[in-house]
Amino acid sequence: MNISVIGTGYVGLVVGACLAETGNDVVCADTNAEKVEGLTRNVIPIYEPGLDAMVERNQQQGRLSFTTNVAGAIARADVVFIAVGTPPDEDGSADLRHVLGVAEEIGRHMRRELVVVTKSTVPVGTAAKVGAAVAKNATLPFHLCSNPEFLKEGAAVDDFMKPDRVVLGVESDHARSVMAELYAPFVRTGKPIIFMDIPSAEMTKYAANAMLATRISFMNEIAALCERVGANVDLVRKGVGSDARIGPSFLFPGPGYGGSCFPKDVKALVQTARSCESPLMVLEAVESANDRQKQRLFDKLTQALDGQVAGAQVAVWGLSFKPNTDDMRESPSLALIDAVLAGGGRVVAHDPAAMEEAHRRLGDRVGYAATNYEALAGSDALVIVTDWNEYRHPDFKRMKEALRRPIVIDGRNLYDPAKLSSLGFTYHSFGRSRA
């Protein structure tokens, strides 16, 4: 099948590479000439395990190509995926200018009956706007499809190749048939393709992310209460997660959610609900709780430093919002670093993948360490923000020798409080007794 993907961001690049992997002829188009030129040389602009090898392999075998010729990509396609960004507008709603701009281009340049697939995360009602934008210039029939993505950064290739489910909102038998054929290789193990109306598909994406964000904020607030009443959130989490109605996923306390999806999608869904005069009060509380949680890391640091942040050097392990990605959008590390710098402290940071992105965002406001241990040298405290695997079993003796003061603020509950205490550390975590 001839597939064109408009947009080579996180979603578009993964979609294009994975569809090429199953034998389709895929063209990924983008107006950013520098990015496209890099991709043709297999220079991947994001850190995503397995993606670089897949892109290189499919380019070598002739199934995947990159171009700045958006019109040409549309003209040769049987299916066009719209995978451009939908950044939050000033009021938190999704900005659809790029999506609708691509839709107009599709209508202008399509040369055959076409399935137009919205892959970008868009609010309910967007498909109607996309259809109207395509129809402005279209002289041939087209069929709309909403195909929300459920890709976890750091595991996106596996998520696409082995999905829990594929959600397809369609309005015609033609779209249903084409999309069922396209996704058949990915559901051979029996995972479902769930067909539904387009508004329901659009809502499913937001509802899923909002539910996951709710679990995170709920557990963070339970952890705060555990600290007050002397309970251990690790044990509470296990007790709650063993209930089959609840399950164990997304019940780990931490410094708050970040990334490209949860913050943006929660805001957009809250704004949609307000505009429909059907407020989502639970989600409004989730958003507020997450903002507070990002502040709690700095509060714990300030407490451990006896209120003296000014003049202190703070080592930060982890800058990306989660492991196995270099994405720092809405990362709790940014809130922490801003607070330390505003308080007169210094920051020396380490991250296995996000150092280049950190320098782009933070410049010379912070120091950058080649290794996690190097960040500790002369620091008054260590704050762990991201649970990269290499931080899970460090050399504690080496850590203590490198730190000026043996203070550890563990935002991911990686270590045993009793063990850290016995080794002479002042140790703070979330929802567990202080050591």
For residues 357 and 320, give the distance between their C-alpha atoms in angstroms, rounded to a whole number: 9
Beta strands in 164-312 (DSSP E): 166-170, 193-196
Per-residue buried b or exposed e for 328-344, using 16+ beta carbons within 10 Å of the residue's own CB? bbbbbbbbbbebbbebe
Strand partners, 382: 315, 408
Given the residues 18, 28, 226, 261, the one annotated as active site: 261
Q: Terminus-to-terminus CA distance in the chain, angstroms? A: 60
Q: Does 276 qualify as catalytic in the annotation?
A: no
| DSSP secondary structure of 81-148 | EE-----B-TTS-B--HHHHHHHHHHHHH--S-EEEEE-S---TTHHHHHHHHHHTT--S-EEEEE--
Residue 179's nearest CA partner among 3, 297, 308 is 3
3-state helix, strand, coil in the chain (%, to 5): 45, 15, 40
Give the residue numbers annotated as catalytic, written as ranges. Answer: 261
